[in-house]
Amino acid sequence: MEVKSLVITGYGINCEEEVAAAYRLAGAIPEIVHLNDIFSGKVDIHSFHIINFPGGFSFGDDIASGKVLANKIKFQKLPDNSTLLDQLKKVLAEKKYILGICNGFQVLTRLGLLPNISGKFEQEVSLAHNIQGKFIDEWVTLKVPNAATPFIADMDTVELPIRHGEGRLIVLDEKIKHAVIDEKLNCLIYANNPNGSMLDCAGLTDRTGQVFGLMPHPEAFLSVYNHPDWGRRKKQGTINENGDGLKIFKNIVEAIPKNPL
């Protein structure tokens, strides 16, 4: 079965080509689509297995990262008078998947898709300014404490780059915090917390494992040659030809049920 992956772009999203390349390398068929083509009804998101919100600076992060885009998804009407959020809920009911990376992760939290403890798609966490008060651009080591989502199945640690000014997870209240811990939704954590994120959180999933959001950029480490230390590591034999990030995309492509759309 051909796995079809929708890669959303527009309004300042700027990592769509890298995400599409990741899916091609993982064996899927990606299609980059501007959000306007979804809002107009030209493209039906239900014809895809995976919906992707890549990184970037949607609407210039002028209010808060992902806030304006999330509001458009919540409130702008499609031709059938539903909203894109309504359609994303249907995507999940169809047992399909949603991935948000960096700015895309911020959008998913503001939409209430992550962690969605209440099941009501209400915002329960946010990604605020880094505790240092500045943009961070560096490589980080991440731990995978559990495989609560197929995106990170069979992974223990992963090394990826981060590029964000607002990546510090904050949680609405203690009830939400304990639910995230108890249900193991904090599925990707920083080995050395670079931004002050609560729970050392670098990525969250929902209870179903169908929605996954992370601040680091897996699409930026698809090949050994993306790593700044690739030369020395390759000589030492401590790194293979594939970058750590590619595994995340291969995981989800392999996890798609063998059922036609």
Kindly list the distances between the CA atom of residue 202 and the CA atoms of 20, 159, 164, 216, 258, in Å, as whole numbers in the listed order: 22, 12, 12, 7, 30
Q: Is residue 156 part of a domain?
A: yes
Q: Is 254 a catalytic residue?
A: no
- Tokens 């995400």, residue located: 19
**Burial (CB count within 10 angstroms: exposed 0-12, middle 13-18, buried 19+), residue 98:** buried
> Whole-angstrom distance between the N-terminal and C-terminal Cα of the chain?
10
Question: What's the number of CA atoms in the CB half-sphere (13 Å) around residue 118?
Answer: 13
Q: Is residue 32 part of a domain?
A: yes
Q: Which of 15, 129, 219, 227 is catalytic?
A: 219
Q: Is 15 a catalytic residue?
A: no
Structural domain including 112 reads 4-255
Pairing state of beta strands 188-190 and 136-143?
antiparallel
Q: Which of 49, 164, 217, 227 is catalytic?
A: 217
- Tokens 């698809």, residue located: 222
For residue 134, the model assigns a pLDDT of 95
For residue 258, the model assigns a pLDDT of 60
Q: Is 217 a catalytic residue?
A: yes
Q: What DSSP letter does each residue of 43-67 carry, written as one string?
A: S-GGG-SEEEE--B-GGGGSSSTTH
Domain with 184 in it: what CATH number?
3.40.50.880
Q: Is residue 101 part of a domain?
A: yes
Q: Is residue 145 part of a domain?
A: yes
For residue 62, the model assigns a pLDDT of 75
Which pTM value belongs to this model?
0.96
Q: Is residue 152 part of a domain?
A: yes
Mean pLDDT for back-to-back runs of 10 residues, the chain (261 residues): 95 97 98 98 97 93 86 97 98 97 98 97 97 96 92 96 97 96 97 97 97 98 93 80 95 82 62
Q: Is residue 260 part of a domain?
A: no
* Beta carbons within 10 angstroms of residue 54's beta carbon: 26
Q: Is residue 261 part of a domain?
A: no
As for how many domains the chain has, the answer is: 1
For residue 167, the model assigns a pLDDT of 96
Q: Which of 102, 124, 129, 166 is catalytic?
A: 102
The stretches of the chain forming alpha helices (DSSP H) are 16-25, 35-39, 67-75, 84-93, 103-111, 174-182, 230-236, 244-255
15: closest CA among 70, 50, 55, 69?
Answer: 55
Q: Is residue 81 part of a domain?
A: yes
